[in-house]
Amino acid sequence: MATFVFMFFRDVPGQSELKSLFRALHASGKVPHALLLSEPAGSGALSLALAFARLLNCSAPKDGEGCGRCTSCLQYSGMAHPDLILSFPIVKPASESDFHSEHLLPEFRKAVLNDPFLSLQDWRGLMDPGNKQAIIPVREASRLMRSCGLKNFGGAFRVVLIWQAQKMNAESGNKLLKLIEEPPEGTLFILIAPSASDLLSTIVSRCQLVHVPPLSQDDIAQRLMSEHTPDRDKAQMAASLAEGDLRQAVRLLELDDTLLQYTEWFVQLTRICYAARLPDLLNWTTELGKSTRDELIAFFRFSAHFLEESTRSRSGLKVYESPALARTGFKMNVFSQLMPLAGVEQIAEGFGRSVENVQRNVHAKLILFNLGIDMMRAFKAKE
């Protein structure tokens, strides 16, 4: 995975409205006591939060950015500012009784500096948790309360950043309620979670809610082309599959030519199902069943996206057809006329459910075979 460095607003792709919001809060001097950033995966909430914290504590900000040169900015560059308190899910070793996130702070800093779009799944993997769940336990809430009871180390704001705040259990969440509602002067809480509905309603009510939208396909494709690949087709295809998640798009690029293979897989499936060739479907299922989880998820997302484009083509709208698709001789406008709209929508939903089934470890061959049978039925409904 390529190294990311997103500690300034200018480095975060897209999100222009939110950048303006954070800059306006800084300029006004009216900073809320608690913010809850609700984001789909890979949308940049952590990067935005760190850029905002840097700006708040910079001694010489310019044009709505931290200067990058003062002592505070240099400390933020390593996520080592003494007034930046980080909290995140942990897996407690069996041998430790009083274990909290500060014990894993060097590892967390390294992981985020390498990838500010770090996912909970990948962070959990770095901790080697076995079958244990990563949580923010009540002892972590106690640590935050102790830290907030100390004087600031000289920064304008102490920033308490709770990443993946939905992993707070009820006990730790309730323990922090009063502190989040009335933090010490000069203290800002920033909570990051996939959705406000994942947190206690009493915590949500004490925060200013900020929705972080998914990154646009154009923003992702431009970032991929500027930093990861000169190939426009690969960048656009990865962006279309990533569903607003920059990190997932980079991961898809790392699959390299395998990404272009998805086009051929989908074309093979549609031709097999249109002709109702059951033996060929079994062979296709066997071959694709050898793929990795990431490859299958990417293929299912690609196929769902392809079906959405088919619907657009049916409506006479212009759609993007990659050179890989052209090489197969497959015509999207022809396909869009071969299956009734209800069938297209049904199969698109099926590909979406297949992503969930892979994530739940349902057998790959069973998922693929059921998709094929459903597509055969959808084509038959045209008759």
> What is the predicted pLDDT for the residue at 262?
81
Q: Are 374 and 291 in contact (CB under 8 A)?
A: no
User: Which residues of the chain are under the pLDDT cut of 50?
Assistant: 1-4, 383
pTM to 2 decimal places: 0.75
CB atoms within 10 A of CB 305: 20
Element (H, E) at 273: helix 257-274
> What is the predicted pLDDT for the residue at 64?
93
Phi–psi pair at 46, nearest 5 degrees:
-65, -40
> What is the predicted pLDDT for the residue at 2?
43
| CA count, 13 A, side-chain hemisphere, 277 | 13
> What is the predicted pLDDT for the residue at 313?
59
The domains located in the chain, with CATH, are 9-211 (3.40.50.300), 255-380 (1.20.272)
**CA angle, corner 240, sides to 236 and 244, nearest 5?**
115
Q: Which residue is listed with tokens 């985020």?
A: 112
> What is the predicted pLDDT for the residue at 322?
56
> What is the predicted pLDDT for the residue at 94?
65
> What is the predicted pLDDT for the residue at 229?
84
> What is the predicted pLDDT for the residue at 1?
41
Question: pLDDT of 321-335, one tens digit each?
Answer: 555 555 656 666 666
Quote the CA–CA distance of 278 and 374 in Å, as a whole number: 12
Question: pLDDT of 48-74, one tens digit each?
Answer: 999 999 999 999 999 999 999 999 999
Calculated CA dihedral for residues 374, 376, 379, 382, nearest 10 degrees: -90
Q: Which of 248, 252, 246 is nearest to 13 (CA)?
A: 246
> What is the predicted pLDDT for the residue at 345?
81
Q: Which of 141, 196, 143, 144 is nearest to 173 (CA)?
A: 141
Burial annotation 196-224 (CB, 10 A radius, 16+ → b, else e): beebbeebbebbeebebebbebebbbebb
